[in-house]
Every structure is written in C-alpha cells, then in structure tokens.
C-alpha cells in the first residue's frame, strides 16, 4: 500500500495546481471516486489484520477528510475567481459617452405629429386636448350620430362596463369629442387642431385597434368652403414639401358635417413609391366639410350666427404615405431595428424654416 503521507502530499499538490473547476473535478474523481486512489485504499482495509486495520483506518479517514476539505476550499476559490472575472467582463462604465450605434430615435408618429402641429401653428391654430375615455354624448350624440348608427355598435367601439344607471363610457373613436368639449367651454371664434390617440375595433395591414388622429376646427361668422380648401392646400404643400398640390373634393357623408367631402390629392404610383403633386392618379387622404348646424346647437352655439368647417386625418396613414412605411402594424411592434430605420434623430425638431423632414 502506498504511503499515506506521500499520497496526501501528492493529492494536495494536484489540488493546489488545479487552475479551473474541470481540472479540480478530475482530481476529485481520481482521489475520491469509486475507483479513486483513496477509495481503493479504503476497500483494502478488509484484507488487513485487525491490528493493522486499527492503525491504518484512522489515517485513511483523516486523509479522506483532508482531501475533501482541500477540494471544497479550492472549489470555493475557483468559483469566486470565475464570478469576479465574469463581473469584470460585464461591467458597464456609465460615465462613458453613448456610442453612436446606440443613439435613440424619435418614433415616426411623434415626428409627424410635430410636423403637422408646426404647419397649423404657423397658420394660427392652437392645440386642444381631451380625455381618451369619453361618454356617449361627447363621442356620438353631440356629433349628430344617431342611436342606430353602425359606429355605435360593439363591433366598432370599445365600451367600458355598464354603470349602475345603465350608462356606459367608451374609448373615444375620434378626436372630434375634443371639438365638442372646446365649443362647450370656450366662446367662439375657434381655430384649433386636435391630435391624439383614438380606438376602434379593427385590425389589419391598414387598421389597428389604436391609432393616431388629428382633426381641425374653425368656427366664426364668415368661414366657408373656400377657406377650408385654402387651409388644406397650404397644409398639403407644406407637409409633402412640394410647390403645388392638385386637390379633388368628392361629395361624401359624415353626420357632423354638411356638406361633407373626401379630399384626394394628385399623385403618381411608381412601383413601391408614391410621388405627390403630379401624375394621373388620385389618392384620398382625409375627410372634411362644413360643421353641421345641429352640432353647433348641441354645444350651445347659435347656428344662425356662427358657422365653420372641420377636417380629420389619420396621422399613422399620412406618415406611411410620406415616409414609405408599408405596414401600419409595425408602428406598434416595438422593433428597435424598425425604429432605427424609420426613426428620426432626437432634437431634430421640424420647422417650416429649417425643413420638416431633414
């Protein structure tokens, strides 16, 4: 049998020289495994005379404990060293400047909203805002939308649970409700635009359950359809950054305007690209019309004295149109790669003087 002291010295040397956990595990198996050197010596105790076994057994037990303790200690030190090395490799110096490849981007919806607001603010419009959760009166009744209108149905509108009095609130289906609230609380004249989120139960390549809309309203004593056309022409030329835009107004129907129209702009479709302002094609971009006198009366405004016009458009859709974004659903996917491609540099604020889409 090998000398116990010599074996202990040899094994302790191998343990201390182990540079990683795999090497240490190999030493443990060679010493204390089923066929390890210490284990084989322990099995040999049965073949010894009682006197010899009584002398050797305590020494082997002490050897086994000594080797086990040394392995545990070495394992703890190697684990600690591995953790420290991992932490050192993953340390982030938060005082370092941001790397160019990690620069944030402004979402196209935010950028286009700022572009539109900049254009209308230059025309003298102010910004109005209101709640996303509305009641039936401000979202439907005051806008001359009758009880049997399809827009009131569950398949189009997100309703909240019914209250004790039987009434139900809803997620606004358009920002027109803010126009009503403005006309209720502020005396005319009015010259506002209303950007905001709206909600409808619809989802496909060009519709989403939540989308962004902007509407405009002018109420005074002399406004007419010609003024409406002039405002929209100025907007289109500024937004699409072209010298001239040919427009076409087709008769339509909206409960809250009379007469009502859908506005098309002349354009050219060339493959995946659209060129605005010239060509042989037409594309609808918004709905508009003169405010229905019933809407004015619902808001406490004398329709024999005041009149005005309104329009509304989807911010998401005209953003797709201007910047060539093919799928509306991508706006809400939270895909950093998409945002880095279609997004805008922070603090590059759109201005009419410096350019809307630099």
Give the start-to-end residue ranges of the domains of the chain: 4-90, 106-342
Per-residue pLDDT of the chain (358 residues; tens, 9 = 90+): 457 778 788 888 888 888 888 888 888 888 888 888 888 888 887 788 888 878 878 888 888 888 888 889 988 998 998 888 888 888 877 787 766 665 778 899 999 999 999 999 999 999 999 999 999 999 999 998 887 777 766 667 888 888 888 788 999 999 999 999 999 999 999 999 999 999 987 766 666 788 899 999 999 999 999 999 999 999 999 998 888 888 999 999 999 999 999 999 888 877 667 777 777 888 899 999 999 999 999 999 999 999 999 999 999 988 888 888 887 888 888 888 888 888 888 877 777 766 676 6
Pair type for strands 190-199 and 126-127? parallel
For residue 291, give the 3-state DSSP assignment. Answer: strand
Distance, CA of 70 to CA of 67 (rounded, Å): 5
User: How high is the pLDDT of residue 99?
Assistant: 65
Number of alpha carbons in the 13 Å side-chain half-sphere of residue 219: 28
The CA distance from 19 to 135, in Å, is 72
Asked if 108 and 322 count as a contact pair (C-beta separation under 8 A), the reply is no
Can you give the length of the chain in residues? 358
pLDDT at 203: 66
Are 71 and 27 contacting, i.e. CB atoms less than 8 angstroms apart?
yes
Cα(95)–Cα(242) distance, integer angstroms: 45
Q: Report domain 106-342's class.
A: alpha beta
For the question of whether the overall pTM of this predicted structure is more than 0.85, the answer is no
Across the chain, where does the E strand assignment appear?
Answer: 126-127, 133-134, 170-171, 190-199, 210-220, 247-254, 257-270, 273-276, 281-291, 307-314
Radius of gyration of the chain (CA): 38
DSSP letter assigned to residue 91: -
pLDDT at position 204: 64
CA dist list (Å): 90 to 76, 95, 353: 21, 15, 46
- Give the other-Cβ count within 10 Å of 187's Cβ: 10
pLDDT at 342: 87
In the prediction, which pLDDT does 155 show? 63
Distance CA 287, CA 309 (A): 11
3-state helix vs strand vs coil in the chain, percent to 5: 45, 20, 35
Are the C-beta atoms of residues 217 and 291 closer than 8 Å to each other? yes
Question: Residue 302 and residue 41: Cα distance in Å, rounded?
Answer: 109
Neighbouring residues of 240: CB distance < 8 A, sequence distance ≥ 6: 276, 277, 322
For residue 218, list its beta bridge partners.
Answer: 191, 309
- pLDDT recorded at residue 53: 78
- Residue listed under structure tokens 């004015």: 296
């Amino acid at each position: 049998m090998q000398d116990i002291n010599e074996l202990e010295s040899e094994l302790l040397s191998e343990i201390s020289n182990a540079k990683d956990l795999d090497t240490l595990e190999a030493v443990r198996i060679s010493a204390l495994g089923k066929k390890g050197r210490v284990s084989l010596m322990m099995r040999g105790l049965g073949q010894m005379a009682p006197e010899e076994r009584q002398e050797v057994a305590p020494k082997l037990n002490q050897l086994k404990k000594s080797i086990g303790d040394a392995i545990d200690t070495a394992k703890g030190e190697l684990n600690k060293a591995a953790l420290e090395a991992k932490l050192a490799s993953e340390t982030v110096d938060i005082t370092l400047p941001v790397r160019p490849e990690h620069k944030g981007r402004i979402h196209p919806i935010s950028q286009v909203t700022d572009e539109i607001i900049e254009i209308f603010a230059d025309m003298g419009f102010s910004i109005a805002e209101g709640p996303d959760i509305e009641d039936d009166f401000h979202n439907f009744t005051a806008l001359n939308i009758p009880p049997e209108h399809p827009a009131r149905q569950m398949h189009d509108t997100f309703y909240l649970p019914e209250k004790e009095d039987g009434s139900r609130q809803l997620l606004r289906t358009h920002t027109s409700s803010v126009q009503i609230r403005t006309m209720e609380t502020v005396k005319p004249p009015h010259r506002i635009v209303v950007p905001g989120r709206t909600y409808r139960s619809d989802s496909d390549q060009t519709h989403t359950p939540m989308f962004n809309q902007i509407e405009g309203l002018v109420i005074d004593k002399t406004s007419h359809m010609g003024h409406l056309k002039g405002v929209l022409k100025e907007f289109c030329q500024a937004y699409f950054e072209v010298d001239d835009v040919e427009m076409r107004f087709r008769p339509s129907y909206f409960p809250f305007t009379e007469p009502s129209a859908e506005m098309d702009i002349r354009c050219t479709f060339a493959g995946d690209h659209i060129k605005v302002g010239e060509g042989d094609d037409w594309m609808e971009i918004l709905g508009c019309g003169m405010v229905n006198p019933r809407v004015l009366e619902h808001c406490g405004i004398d329709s024999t004295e005041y009149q005005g016009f309104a329009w509304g458009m989807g911010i998401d859709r005209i953003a797709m149109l201007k910047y060539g974004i093919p799928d509306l659903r991508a706006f809400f996917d939270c895909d950093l790669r998409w945002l880095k491609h279609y997004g805008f540099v922070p603090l590059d604020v759109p201005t009419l003087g410096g350019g809307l889409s630099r």
